[in-house]
Structure 1
Amino acid sequence: MNTKQIRQKILDLAIRGELVPQDPTDEPASVLLERIRAEKEQLIKDKKLKRDKKDNEPIDEIPFELPEGWEWCRLGEVCFFKGGYAFKSNKYIEKSNNQVIRIGNVKNNNLILSNQPVYIPDTLQNEIEDYHIKENDLLFTMTGTKGKRDYFYTLVVPKVKHNLYLNQRVGLLRVILSELNIYFINLVLKHQFVLDSIFQTETGNVNQGNIGSENTLNLLIPIPPLAEQHRIVEKVEQLFALVDTIETHKEQLKSDVKQAKNQVLNYAIAGKLTHQDPNDEPAEELLKRIGKTTTTAADTPYEKLPKGWVWCKLGEVCSFENGYAFNSDDYQKNGTPLIRISNIKNGKIDISEAVFIKIEYDKRFMVEYGDLLIAMSGATTGKMGVYKLDREAVLNQRVGNIKIRNKDIFFHKFRNYIMQTKSDEILKMAYGGAQPNISGKMIENLTIPLPPLAEQYRIVQKIETYFSFLDTIENSL
């Protein structure tokens, strides 16, 4: 269960009356609702509020059973709604004591005053006084991306030092009776059953989704006794603070795991992860067998290597092949999968959304099990993935293939880990500014440490042991 699910579980217990114990001496919610109705009637009589058509409409079906002393009601029975004002941008000024609250200021259930703030002059205050936001008003966003549920964020307005005014498509709810706990209402509006209900009423076009005030006020909400409302809010705040702490530690632990993996790799390629065996055939002899030479000390990137290891260029133990510029007119729904940059994901090759070809192609562009592919251009330049599928695939342009020349000299899994340590170096080599590129020559010219083949296997085994342990930690978060 992740922290988002934990929060929903807390909210679920809260609004079902299962988070805090009931107190039989609490005044029932029905009495509170009677006071609210009386207050509402007075406001209607004083012409400060209009009568809601659904005020006396019976509730036919309740979402779930409530504890004794609780009541179901419509949101419009306990709150009134205020829509925002259509401020014109030519009225905005650089700075004043009057800030306009727009959709972007109500984000992920937080009031973010610093997000592209806009202000209006004092001369407009009288004209827009009806849109003045008060402390403890509840704000919610009414427009977003249709089908994405990226709005209906809610928050209770805290005390601020300057005036806030309501812009269009930001809704305001204000309790009819001040003693009602607005923070409890805010918790209810974040519950999944409320979100499901409100988004069922979503309107709008292909891209823009909207929620209306009538459907918002028609939402069914549970009302506990007033004293229990306070207890619930206090308990939820305590538990949410604990979840926040867990989340902070979780992100820190994720960062620690990533750093630990990098440290393991750094130790591995420096020969500090395993013990050297003097009986291993030295790496220099491996290179001699294929007619290659070691790299001079002046070209090596850092400290002295263990005995039996040598520095060499990646191109001496791996070949590099670029992909081919296949014509999109040749794309099919089946055939041989074509590996594009978008198919390189999280260190693997994902062909679930691949395109296919059925034409003849040069075998140089063929991808085999265990090949290491790399993005050669674009925003994800340098990202790599290992092809682990038992089917033939073919390489598209701007995807490179780092293939092992001789499996008796260079272990493919050791190559994969070596290349992980080269990510930053590859990015630094990229050219082209906003559209970075790397070349096959750059990759082949990378200097790498080469241990004896037997030690390569031992190193990989050690890395996998450590990584498995670290993955277990990360997956438990």
Structure 2
Amino acid sequence: MSAVLTDNLPLLAGAPNGVKKLRELILELAVRGKLVPQDPSDEPASELLKRIAEEKVRLVAQGKIKKQKPLAGVEEAALPFELPVAWVWARLGEITNFGTTTKKDEIPDDAWVLDLEDIEKDTSRLLQKARFYERNSLSDKNSFAKGDVLYGKLRPYLNKVLVAEDDGFCTTEILPFRCHGPFVAHYFMVALKSPYFLSYVNAKSYGMKMPRLGTEDGRQALFPLPPLAEQHRIVAKVDELMALCDRLEARQADAGSAHVQLVQALLGSLTQASDAEDFAQSWQRLAEHFHALLTTESSIDALKQTLLQLAVMGKLVTQDPSDEPASELLKRIAKEKTRLISEEGLRTTARDDVPEAEHYFRLHTGWASCRLGNLARFIDYRGRTP
């Protein structure tokens, strides 16, 4: 499956929002056990689950963690999808300390303090690494340790999940957690960012303006747990494919910028046409390549704007020498305006003259320039004619 995906990355990325959808597909395949081959020699996740349970018992006995209330069992009929033979479904709160946080009364000045805005949505890139003395926030903070998974529970659809690269402190809207037994933190990050888990938390989130995932709902979440060795392989493959997505994205950004410049230049050639005949020839040349040129919404919008510009420049239709010149039309408009001023008390402040220096472009013979206030009656916000 991963080889097919890798071979078709450029093709899939070409679709609208292609790279974003590719990233989602990679994560979804990862949590379904479809991204890397299964290895029969791997210790099954059922054994890993036993070790996790034993470690929890030990930590409770030592007083390092509190005994949590039992979670609902995993019923086969309620499973979201089928996992590979060596995988198991587990409740997130069963295998991790999700929702159990530790706060410190004092935070060292040079401590790393993480806020949600420091994490980029979807990509989970760390945008900045601020120290306490730089922020000196007075609100409560959760402490975390290097290697913890940091889950943004506020507006979870933003997909902000990080693996801590150092010890630090974070806003209470970020929940640090770790597995009770051996685990690969970056696999847990992959699983929590997958479309499967996002669908779950979006359905469980509460609050209209600032939705968040409740702690108990997070603990009850069904988690696809692979063998420990496969967790490592999945993370390596995800990193490899995401790096390819980064390259495709960068290539698309460069291509997108070049495309915008190309569209602007070629459509600009239409406005440079000297007359309708010249415009018709330029239009015909461009029309033959519209299938390659007008491939984005922005390029179509640019064409619409160009057509409007061409219309007011008199380049969309052929000029007819027999037409009454606009100067005569202006005379009739001025005569009507004088009548309105005399009989209806029309007020106007628009100047009559339009110096050639103020013209936006050269007018055709027969056209004239006039201030808009001398052509039309405007109604102000009070419903009166100014």
Residue type of the partner of 1:445?
Answer: H
Aligned length: 290
Q: Distance in 2 between matches of 1:136 and 1:449?
A: 70
What SS class does the counterpart of residue 97 from structure 2 fall into? strand
**Residue 201 (str. 1) matches residue 204 (str. 2):** yes
The 3 A distance-change label for structure 1 pair 87 and 260 is farther
Residue type of the partner of 1:184?
Answer: Y
Q: Give the Å deviation of 1:41.
A: 0.9
1:106 and 1:141 in contact (8 A); partners too:
no
The 3 A distance-change label for structure 1 pair 348 and 269 is closer
What SS class does the counterpart of residue 53 from structure 1 fall into? coil
2:71 and 2:220 in contact (8 A); partners too:
no
Counterpart for residue 174 of structure 1: 178
Question: Of 95, 102, 105, which residue of structure 1 is paired with 2:115?
Answer: 102
Counterpart for residue 248 of structure 2: 246
Counterpart for residue 317 of structure 2: 407
Counterpart for residue 224 of structure 1: 226
Q: Distance in 2 between matches of 1:247 and 1:347?
A: 19
Q: Distance in 2 between matches of 1:209 and 1:385?
A: 43
Residue type of the partner of 1:153?
Answer: K
Q: Distance in 2 between matches of 1:282 and 1:137?
A: 67
**Residue 446 (str. 1) matches residue 360 (str. 2):** yes
Q: Distance in 1 between matches of 2:266 and 2:306?
A: 20
1:17 and 1:66 in contact (8 A); partners too:
yes
More strand by share: 1
The 3 A distance-change label for structure 1 pair 27 and 40 is same
Question: Of 194, 207, 210, which residue of structure 1 is paired with 2:212?
Answer: 210
2:98 and 2:178 in contact (8 A); partners too:
yes
Counterpart for residue 154 of structure 1: 161
The 3 A distance-change label for structure 1 pair 46 and 445 is same
The 3 A distance-change label for structure 1 pair 56 and 222 is same
Counterpart for residue 256 of structure 1: 258
The 3 A distance-change label for structure 1 pair 81 and 208 is same
The 3 A distance-change label for structure 1 pair 35 and 25 is same
**Residue 44 (str. 1) matches residue 51 (str. 2):** no
Question: Of 118, 132, 151, which residue of structure 2 is paired with 1:140?
Answer: 151
Counterpart for residue 292 of structure 2: none
- Map 1:11-410 to 2 at 5 A: 11-55=27-71, 57-60=73-76, 61-82=78-99, 96-108=109-121, 109-114=124-129, 117=130, 119-120=132-133, 131-144=142-155, 150-159=157-166, 164-177=168-181, 179-204=182-207, 206-267=208-269, 384=305, 402=312, 404=314, 407-409=317-319
Q: Distance in 2 between matches of 1:27 and 1:14?
A: 18
More helix by share: 2
Q: Distance in 1 between matches of 2:118 and 2:132?
A: 13
Cα-Cα RMSD: 4.1
Counterpart for residue 326 of structure 2: none
Residue type of the partner of 1:192?
Answer: P
Deviation by residue 1:68-89 (Cα, 9 ceiling, x = unmatched): 111110111221125667899x
Q: Distance in 2 between matches of 1:68 and 1:405?
A: 70
What SS class does the counterpart of residue 223 from structure 2 fall into? strand
1:83 and 1:170 in contact (8 A); partners too:
no
1:75 and 1:216 in contact (8 A); partners too:
yes
Q: Distance in 1 between matches of 2:127 and 2:101?
A: 17
Q: Give the Å deviation of 1:3.
A: 0.8
**Whose RCO is larger (CA < 8 A, sep 6+)?**
2
1:348 and 1:385 in contact (8 A); partners too:
no
Counterpart for residue 330 of structure 2: none
The 3 A distance-change label for structure 1 pair 80 and 264 is same
The 3 A distance-change label for structure 1 pair 142 and 281 is closer
Q: Give the Å deviation of 1:100.
A: 2.2
The 3 A distance-change label for structure 1 pair 41 and 264 is same
What SS class does the counterpart of residue 447 from structure 1 fall into? coil
Query: Tell me, which stretches of 5 or more residues in structure 1 are unaligned?
Result: 284-344, 350-369, 373-383, 388-400, 411-438, 451-477
Q: Give the Å deviation of 1:9.
A: 1.3
Q: Give the Å deviation of 1:246.
A: 0.3
Q: Distance in 1 between matches of 2:271 and 2:199?
A: 52
Q: Distance in 2 between matches of 1:282 and 1:234?
A: 59
The 3 A distance-change label for structure 1 pair 33 and 197 is same
The 3 A distance-change label for structure 1 pair 87 and 42 is closer
The 3 A distance-change label for structure 1 pair 83 and 248 is farther
Name whichever of 257-266 and 238-247 sits farther off. Answer: 257-266
2:152 and 2:159 in contact (8 A); partners too:
yes
Q: Give the Å deviation of 1:59.
A: 3.1
Query: Tell me, which stretches of 5 or more residues in structure 2 are unaligned?
Result: 1-14, 280-296, 321-350, 365-386
Counterpart for residue 436 of structure 1: none
